[in-house]
Amino acid sequence: MGIVMFYHLTRSGSEQTLRLLLDRALGQGWRIMIRSGEAAQLNRLDERLWLHPEDGFVPHGIEGGPHDADQPVLLGQGPVRNGARGLMLLDGADTTLDEARDLERVWVIFDGADPDRLGAARALWKRVTDAGLAAQYWSEESGRWEKKAEKG
């Protein structure tokens, strides 16, 4: 059983935070699923991961292709199909408790200025911690990421 980590965006954009976390996870040899509630966000991410950084790219695919299971990073809205050890949730995307229990890491990246996203993150925190899963809350309020709360 892993940890569900909540990243409350107040200064950075979701893409900047995602890249920071993604680089660390890939550096550990993990496969990652990035799930978004918005197809347009997945298309933007697809383009950005091919073009940036300029000296390389992040190998990835969008779900629904013939090689989903082989992708080190899979972008989608459905279930984990690439043997991922980590799941990044953007734009209000959700996970089940069973799915979260089976992963090393779930990152919930949410915009603190959006009351709907903030409410969804709080509801997920409650579900996760009530079920006994480990959870951490990270904030960048001070200008750098700091762990503000931990349960489990």
Give tens-digit pLDDT for 51-86.
766 666 788 999 998 999 999 999 999 999 999 999
Spatial contact of 134 and 1, defined as CB atoms under 8 Å apart: yes
The pLDDT of residue 50: 81
Question: pTM of the full predicted structure?
Answer: 0.94
Give 5's Cβ-side CA count (13 Å radius).
Answer: 20
CATH class of 3-151: alpha beta
Structure confidence by residue, pLDDT tens digits, 4-55? 999 999 999 998 899 899 999 999 999 999 999 889 999 999 988 887 666 6
d(C-alpha 139, C-alpha 45), whole Å: 23
The pLDDT of residue 145: 95
CB-count exposure of residue 66 (10 Å: 0-12, 13-18, 19+): exposed
Domain ranges of the chain: 3-151
Residue 12's Cα: distance from chain center in Å?
15
d(C-alpha 113, C-alpha 19), whole Å: 20
CB-count exposure of residue 71 (10 Å: 0-12, 13-18, 19+): buried
